Each structure stands twice: as C-alpha cells, then as structure tokens.
Amino acid sequence: MIDKHAVEAFLRANGVHPTAKDEEIRSVLLSARWNNNEVDTALMVLRENVLNQETHVDTLHKVFNTDNRLNSAEISALLGIDVAISGSDVNNINKKYSMSNRARTLVGFVLSVMIAFGSIGYIMYKEQSGVFFVKHKKTESPTALSSSTPDTKTAKAASK
C-alpha cells in the first residue's frame, strides 16, 4: 500500500506541495512513470482524513472498474488480512488450469469426431451406400424363367 508520508516526500522532492491541485500532482506522478492506478491511489491517500479515516468515494473506481490484476499487497489492504501469493503459486495454478483446459479441448474434439463418424455411418446404413452397399441380384419374372429354360423332356429329346 502506498504510504502517505512517502508520497508527500516524493512530491516535495519534485517541488510540488502535497496540498496542490490534483491535476498538478497527477502530472508530476505520471512524469515519474507511475501508472494511472498508482496515481489514483496516491491521490486517495493524500486526500484521506487522518482523524476519521474517510476517503473520497470517487477514487473507488480503481477497485471496481479495472482490468488489472491486484497484487497481494493490494488484496491484503482491501480485505484486511494477510495474503501471501508467490510467483511459484501463480505458476502452479496457471499450469493446472492449462492442463485442465487441454483435457477439455481433447475430450471435446474426440466427442465431436465420434458424433460426426457415427452420424455419417448411420446415414450410410439407412441409405445402403458406401460400406453398407448391397448389390441386388437381377430377378426375373416367373414367366420369363419358364420360357427361357428348356424343358427337361425337350432337352432329352433334342439330345437323342
């Protein structure tokens, strides 16, 4: 957390009084390469009432309207508890997340391929095409069979 005395000392070293306008303080801090969140926090700390610990409500946008991650010191200050998160803890969490993400992706891919092949196989079976193709024998009518095949008596007589 940013200490009020440290911010005041920094401003005095840069020739700005701590009770100066917010725009002037903001320009000095930004020229010192502070990011916007740190500048907002420093302004909030400077304007804090030491007697009753009241702060300006307009500076709470740092917590609620931000896309940046909070470090462990900021989390500790907001919650009032000590949170110790090391880089290795974050790496372990990220590694576990990426492993579970890969597994979910693989399962999704395998299921989609199985559903696709199953659907194609079912349609091929119903339409009797591809692997399920059945070659139909040419069937002739019974009258055509009797007239085209020689009678056994006629065949014997013709052979004599």
Count of structural domains within the chain: 2
Q: Which helix (H) or strand (E) holds 91?
A: helix 87-127
Distance CA 113, CA 109 (A): 6
- Tell me the whole-structure pTM to 2 decimals: 0.34
Q: Which domain holds residue 146?
A: 86-160
Of 79, 113, 146, the residue that ends a domain is 79
In this structure, the answer to whether residues 57 and 118 fall within a common structural domain is no
Quick count: other Cβ atoms within 10 Å of Cβ 146?
9
Of 26, 57, 79, the residue that ends a domain is 79
CA end-to-end distance (rounded Å), the chain:
122
In this structure, the answer to whether residues 52 and 8 fall within a common structural domain is yes
In this structure, the answer to whether residues 37 and 100 fall within a common structural domain is no
Q: What share of the chain is helix, strand, coil (3-state, %, to 5)?
A: 65, 0, 35
Per-residue model confidence as pLDDT tens digits over 53-87: 544 444 444 555 566 676 777 777 777 677 677 77
In this structure, the answer to whether residues 11 and 57 fall within a common structural domain is yes
In this structure, the answer to whether residues 93 and 64 fall within a common structural domain is no
Q: Look at residue 62 in the predicted model and tell me its pLDDT.
A: 52
In this structure, the answer to whether residues 96 and 149 fall within a common structural domain is yes
As a whole number, mean pLDDT of residues 95-105 equals 84
The confidence band for 123, taking pLDDT boundaries of 50, 70 and 90, is very high
As a whole number, mean pLDDT of residues 93-103 equals 83
Of 12, 47, 79, the residue that ends a domain is 79
In this structure, the answer to whether residues 54 and 92 fall within a common structural domain is no
The confidence band for 100, taking pLDDT boundaries of 50, 70 and 90, is confident
Tell me the chain's radius of gyration from C-alpha atoms: 42
In this structure, the answer to whether residues 47 and 63 fall within a common structural domain is yes
Per-residue model confidence as pLDDT tens digits over 3-56: 888 888 888 888 888 888 888 888 988 888 888 888 888 888 887 766 655 444
In this structure, the answer to whether residues 90 and 159 fall within a common structural domain is yes
Distance CA 102, CA 95 (A): 11
